[in-house]
Amino acid sequence: MYKVLVSDPISDLGIQQLVDANDVVVEKNTGLSEDELVAIIGDYDALLVRSQTRVTDRIMTAGTNLKVIGRAGVGVDNIDLEAATQRGIIVINAPDGNTITTCEHTFAMMMALARHIPQAYAKTIQGTWDRKTFLGVELRNKTLGVLGMGRIGSEVAKRAKAFGMDILAYDPFLTQERADKLQVKLASVDDIIRNADFMTVHTPLTPETRHMISRAQFEVMKKGMRIINCARGGVVDEMALVEAIDEGIVAGAAFDVFESEPPAQDHPFLNHPSIIVTPHLGASTVEAQENVAIDVSEQVLHILRNEPFKNAVNMPAVAPTVMNKLQPYFKLGETLGSFAAQITQNAVQEIRIDYAGDLSEVDTSPLTRYIVKGILARHLGGEANIVNSMHLAKTRDLNVVVSQTSATKGFTNLITVTLVTTQDAEERRVAGTLLAGYGERIVRLDKFPVDIAPESHQILISHNDKPGIIGRVGTLLGQNDVNIASMQVGRKIIGGAAIMILTVDKAVPKDVLVQLTALPELNTAVEIVLE
Ligand SMILES: NC(=O)c1ccc[n+]([C@@H]2O[C@H](COP(=O)([O-])OP(=O)(O)OC[C@H]3O[C@@H](n4cnc5c(N)ncnc54)[C@H](O)[C@@H]3O)[C@@H](O)[C@H]2O)c1
Ligand SMILES: O=C(O)CC[C@@H](O)C(=O)O
């Protein structure tokens, strides 16, 4: 039974599929402190959060069974991604489910700002009928600057067109072609600051976006600009904004997010006559909360059940079509990595992976993770997984060199894994393919062509190609009650170096390997265990 902890308020309807799953137990326990979470997290396989729970390194260290952290929303700034990656914990989010809701909140804020709605409401309900103070402005014919043209920024731009606004847009990934399609003008941050009447930010908070609108930008800003932030607190420098409003540079601001949430009681935004605020409500609609919870629950189930999943934040994104193509190779990749590592006795300094044939046409990086995991698992065991394998390789100064070639080398697809060791740059090589109708096959071991169906227990023997050796090996294994299921021999020249691969029915005792190595004309005998 997998145990899932829901530590923030998440839509009941959204997590229903987890609750209904017969291999999952869901427990809700919200509002816990870090210490309280540390005390209980060891029992759980998955943690589901919104933005309140701060998932720290300490919590993950205590979460010894934790396989996945699901964020019901977009921003993962409340999760220590580095720590999760190091520990091999997959972090997933729900990037699409709250886009429209947050875009609509941005418009609610923009219009409330243009027409002073919160301030007018507050006065009206106090009994003051004030029709002079709250003179607003139209959106029509105004210029809207959009910083960040991802999912939400693009939807905001589309709707702004309907209000008759001109749009200046900046995003490091915004191409002229896409700008034309969205009918926005490609602009720089500086263009936006100098020319926009309204400016809305839709970027994540990164070292680059932190305070991207600050004192220097306010100094050259178009007078009377109105600023909206429904993205992340800190993209606009809060203190510099208050100064710019008080100096008459900025006409007003509408903020859903704060540099520190909730803001302190004496935060200058609160009760400022030209600033309206909401308590991080951008994603808070029934629809969005259901959407994000459904999305994240679905992926958590896939991860717990070891099925293909999407929306991992600490792994590269891969298109579903590519993933479908690669998926049949994952087991083979891990097997090749594991096989190569087990036949390599010296320390490895470089991993070379060559994808040939069909596999040269796709982004094979997810498959590389499986191969590297297979290699590292020999020494790191369960610590290595597909989330942290590349990271672990890097921290161990292991160079991973990947190449792709369309040349088929006699197979429709071929994966060759070469381990280069620190001992005179010795190379050990294993190649495998997925044969239609036959499944995974190892087709090359070092310089020898072979045809092996990978099994749980195998013995790789290197010997001199001399008469009688096969018989001696068979007799010795028989005397030690090790049954041979199949055998393959390979050699390049008669009487030269040769290999023998035996598939056996059970684990081979160490002393039997020692006895094998002592046989005349036999050089090495290594057991290979595959999962
Ligand atoms: N208020 C809320 O409740 C709420 C709800 C949903 C999302 N969000 C936040 O809104 C933001 C946008 O969400 P999204 O789903 O559109 O994300 P997204 O990833 O689709 O878009 C973010 C865009 O910002 C761009 N960007 C990055 N650095 C930039 C820079 N220096 N200048 C300009 N653009 C830059 C990226 O290229 C990307 O296109 C995120 O911070 C997210 O966490 C807030
Ligand atoms: O969970 C929330 O309500 C906030 C969501 C929002 O900030 C996000 O990044 O998705």
pLDDT at 407: 86
Question: Distance (Å, rounded) from C-alpha 43 to C-alpha 227?
Answer: 45
Distance (Å) from CA 78 to ligand 2 centroid: 10
Please tell me what DSSP assigns to residue 226: E
- Could you read off the pLDDT of 330-371 as tens digits, one per residue? 999 999 999 999 999 888 899 999 999 989 989 999 999 999
Among 86, 39, 30, residue whose Cα is nearest residue 63:
39
Distance (Å) from CA 286 to ligand 2 centroid: 13
Q: Mean of the pLDDT values across residues 450-469?
A: 94
Question: Distance (Å, rounded) from C-alpha 523 to C-alpha 171?
Answer: 62
173: number of Cβ within 10 Å: 8
Query: Picking from 302-306, 387-391, 479-483, which range would have the lowest pLDDT averaged per residue?
Result: 387-391
Ligand 1 atom 32 nearest Cα: 171
Question: Distance (Å, rounded) from C-alpha 88 to C-alpha 389?
Answer: 8
Determine the straight-line distance between the first and last CA of the chain, rounded to whole angstroms: 22
Q: With cut-offs at 50, 70 and 90, classify the pLDDT of residue 82.
A: confident
Q: Does ligand 1 lie within 6 Å of residue 444's CB atom?
A: no
pLDDT at 515: 95
Query: Picking from 127-131, 255-259, 494-498, which range would have the lowest pLDDT averaged per residue?
Result: 494-498
Q: Does ligand 1 lie within 6 Å of residue 114's CB atom?
A: no
Closest ligand 1 atom to Cα of 208:
31
Pocket test for ligand 2, best of 201, 256, 280, 292 (most atoms within 8 A of CB): 280
CA angle 348, 351, 355 (to 5 degrees): 155
Ligand number with the minimum distance to the CA of 186: 1
Pocket test for ligand 1, best of 50, 186, 203 (most atoms within 8 A of CB): 203
Which SS3 state, helix, strand or coil, does residue 275 take?
Answer: strand
- Could you read off the pLDDT of 384-426 as tens digits, one per residue? 888 889 988 987 888 999 999 988 778 999 999 999 987 788 8
Question: Distance (Å, rounded) from C-alpha 131 to C-alpha 135?
Answer: 8
Pocket test for ligand 2, best of 50, 103, 259 (most atoms within 8 A of CB): 50
- Could you read off the pLDDT of 17-37 as tens digits, one per residue? 999 999 999 999 999 999 999
What are the residues whose beta carbons fall under 8 Å from the beta carbon of 130, sequence distance 6 or more?
Answer: 120, 123, 124
Name beta bridge partners: 418.
Answer: 352, 429
Residue in the block written with tokens 């096969």: 470
151: number of Cβ within 10 Å: 17
pLDDT at 148: 95
Which SS3 state, helix, strand or coil, does residue 463 take?
Answer: strand
pLDDT at 312: 87
Question: Distance (Å, rounded) from C-alpha 105 to C-alpha 233?
Answer: 16
Cβ atoms 268, 294 nearer than 8 A: no
Distance (Å) from CA 376 to ligand 1 centroid: 36
pLDDT at 395: 79
Please tell me what DSSP assigns to residue 361: S
Give the number of residues written for the chain: 531
Among 190, 202, 206, residue whose Cα is nearest residue 227:
202
Evaluate if residue 317 carries a pLDDT over 90. Answer: no
Domains, the chain: 2-96+287-305 (3.40.50.720), 98-277 (3.40.50.720), 317-454 (3.30.1330.90), 455-530 (3.30.70.260)
Query: In this prediction, what percent of the chain has a pLDDT beyond 70?
Result: 100
Q: Does ligand 1 lie within 6 Å of residue 148's CB atom?
A: yes
Closest ligand 2 atom to Cα of 284:
3
Q: Does ligand 1 lie within 6 Å of residue 288's CB atom?
A: no
Strand-strand pairing, 166-170 and 143-147: parallel
Q: Which two tokens stand for residue 389?
A: 């394998």
Please tell me what DSSP assigns to residue 213: B
Q: Mean of the pLDDT values across residues 446-461?
A: 94
Measure Cα distances from 392 to 386, 419, 458 in Å: 10, 16, 27
Pocket test for ligand 1, best of 93, 107, 152, 285 (most atoms within 8 A of CB): 152
CA angle 76, 78, 83 (to 5 degrees): 85
Q: With cut-offs at 50, 70 and 90, classify the pLDDT of residue 102.
A: very high
Closest ligand 1 atom to Cα of 147:
33
Q: With cut-offs at 50, 70 and 90, classify the pLDDT of residue 151.
A: very high
Q: Mean of the pLDDT values across residues 36-52?
A: 97
Ligand number with the minimum distance to the CA of 108: 1
Question: Distance (Å, rounded) from C-alpha 460 to C-alpha 338?
Answer: 14
Q: Mean of the pLDDT values across residues 311-339?
A: 87
Ligand 1 atom 41 nearest Cα: 204
Instruction: Please name the residue ranges forming H helices in 32-150.
Output: 34-40, 57-62, 81-87, 99-115, 117-125
Give the mean pLDDT of the chain: 94
Active site residues: 232, 261, 280
pLDDT at 323: 79
The phi, psi pair for 229, rounded to 5°, reads -130, 105
ipTM higher than the 0.90 cut: yes
Q: Mean of the pLDDT values across residues 71-76?
A: 93
Question: Distance (Å, rounded) from C-alpha 244 to C-alpha 250?
Answer: 6
Query: Picking from 93-107, 241-255, 424-438, which range would have the lowest pLDDT averaged per residue?
Result: 424-438
Which strand (E) or helix (H) includes residue 67?
A: none
- What is the model's pTM? 0.77
- Could you read off the pLDDT of 185-228 as tens digits, one per residue? 999 999 999 999 999 999 988 888 999 999 999 999 999 999 99
Among 1, 47, 51, residue whose Cα is nearest residue 28:
47
Q: Does ligand 1 lie within 6 Å of residue 10's CB atom?
A: no
Q: With cut-offs at 50, 70 and 90, classify the pLDDT of residue 318.
A: confident
Ligand number with the minimum distance to the CA of 285: 2
pLDDT at 327: 86
52: number of Cβ within 10 Å: 14
Residue ranges lining ligand 2, Cβ < 6 Å: 50-51, 73-75, 98, 280, 282-284
Q: Which two tokens stand for residue 145?
A: 């600057």
Q: Mean of the pLDDT values across residues 486-511?
A: 92
pLDDT at 225: 98
Q: Does ligand 1 lie within 6 Å of residue 257's CB atom?
A: yes
Q: Which two tokens stand for residue 507?
A: 């684990």
Q: Mean of the pLDDT values across residues 140-157?
A: 97
